[in-house]
Each structure stands twice: as C-alpha cells, then as structure tokens.
Amino acid sequence: MSALRTSVLSAAALFSLSPLASAQTYGTQDRRPEESRQDFALELRFGSFTENIDNQVGMAANGPFRQIFCSTRDATAASTATVGCPARFRFGAEFDWQILRLGPVGSFGVGLVASFGSAVADAPALSGMSSTDATQWRRSAQQTTLNVVQGAALAVLRIDGLARRVRWLPVVPFAKAGLALAPWWVTSGEANARDTSGNDAVGLSQGFYFAGGLAVMLDTFEPHVARQWDQQSGVNHSYVFFELNYQYLGGITRRTLDVGGLAWTAGVNVEF
C-alpha cells in the first residue's frame, strides 16, 4: 500500500506541474534558442484622416464639416469646377506589451495608440455665408483648423505562428479593440475659434476603437540580417503592415462630437 500511495502521489504531482511546464514552453518566452527575449512591439503609423461629424448630424452630403473644410474653391478655378474634400492624413505610434504567448499560434497583448490629424481651410467670412451653396461663400485670408488627437487603450491579438515557422508564408493577421478618447480643438487664425455662446471650440470625444489588418514579416526576405539585428539590438522581428480601423467617438457616457470614422493605416512594426 505504501508503494502504491507513493506512486499515486508522484503521478498527481507530475500532473499538477504539467500546466506549468506547458506555460514555460508555450508562454510569453516561446522562442527559438537563437532568438532574444520578446516582450514588446512598437509601430510607426501613417493613415487617412476621417471624421463622422456630418453623418452624426444626419447631413452626410452637405454637413458643417464638408461645408467648411471641403468646399473651398481655388480663386482661379472655374465656377463649375468640382469641389471635394482633399486627401488628409494622420501620423501616430503604437506601443504594445505582449503579455501572453498563445502557444505556437500567436500572441496576446495590451497597448496604447495615439495619432494626430488636422483639417485646414480658409475661414468663411460671416458676411459672405448668405448663400446656401457653400462653394459660393466668400473666404477670408484667415485659416481655420480642426485639430484631432486620437488615442486608445487596446487589446491586441497577433496570429504570427505560421510566419514564425514557415518561411514562405510571412503574413501575420491581427485584430485590435479598445476604448478611445480624442481631444479636439478648432482654431481661427492663431486663436481658438468660439461657438455661438462665446465658448472656445474645444472638446473631448469618447468611444471605441476596432481594427483588423495584415502584417508582412520582413525577416523572411533577409533572415541573416534579421538574426544579426536580433543579436546586436534585441529586435526579434520587423514588419510592414496595413490596417483598417473604425473609431466611434460619438460618446459612451454622454454625447460627444464624433471625430472618428473608418480609416486606413499603414506603417512599420518591430518586436523586441
């Protein structure tokens, strides 16, 4: 009985330790012997500047944003020339902490992302806004600008298992979701613009951030250079990526100006 009891206890101990052994093998530090420790990711981002202001007020075709920032006609243009929103962009960065390695499948982490974008146009002269056609408004020599800083706290899932192990398949799908905040302000010339009540045109919008995309692991194309980079500076992998994201910023606890929308983002990413 003593021998049997010892055997049972030994088996139970091994069984209880097996999840720990698995976590060590497939935990955060699941990597090849030649690879350095990997805990973080850093992205530099470039993408489109979008807003959902006109949709929010039910005037998608001719709302306040479009009238002010998309209706400026060049002085030399013909009166019949088409008027549309010029391409506008935002720049930003993201930092992720990869807190959990999901075995050979991928990684789960948390991160922070922030970006800045603005829309600039010649400010309409109040005396010249009588026409219902905004393209006919008289513009002043002073510029007005809508500035938006978008930030979010994210949960990030990267499915990089195949890219790490199959050289001819360097594609890494990823998904992100989180809570978003966006301080914004409108300037007229060098000062803040004011609303009809005389208050500064500033605000803090809140909402959600959702994104999905694909990254291409650059290690595949120059594996020897990638390993040298890892040994010398601790950079495990590098990528180029493309992401589609949607930010709803119309408010969670209260209604706020929706300076979000559907946008594309591209950039570079390094893991270290």
- What mean pLDDT comes out for the span 188-211? 82
pTM beyond 0.85: the answer is: no
Q: Are 119 and 145 in contact (CB under 8 A)?
A: yes
What pLDDT digit, counting tens, does each position of 132-179 carry? 666 666 676 778 899 999 999 999 999 999 888 888 899 999 999 999
Does pLDDT of 67 surpass 90? no
CATH of 36-271, one of 1.10.1660.10, 3.30.160.340, 3.90.120.10, 2.40.160.20: 2.40.160.20
Q: 61 versus 28: which is more confidently predicted? A: 61
Does pLDDT of 94 surpass 60? yes
Phi, psi (rounded to 5 degrees) for 208: -130, 155
Nearest CA among 217, 118, 218, 225 for reference residue 171: 217
| d(C-alpha 272, C-alpha 38), whole Å | 5
Nearest CA among 249, 268, 246 for reference residue 259: 249
Does pLDDT of 28 surpass 90? no
CA angle 250, 110, 255 (to 5 degrees): 10
Q: Looking at this protein, which amino acid is placed at residue 122? A: D
What is residue 23's predicted lDDT score, i.e. its pLDDT?
33
Compute how many other C-beta atoms are within 10 angstroms of the C-beta atom of residue 97. Answer: 14
The answer for residues whose C-beta is within 8 angstroms of residue 121's C-beta and 6 or more apart is 68, 69, 70, 71, 72, 139, 143, 144
Compute how many other C-beta atoms are within 10 angstroms of the C-beta atom of residue 74. Answer: 8
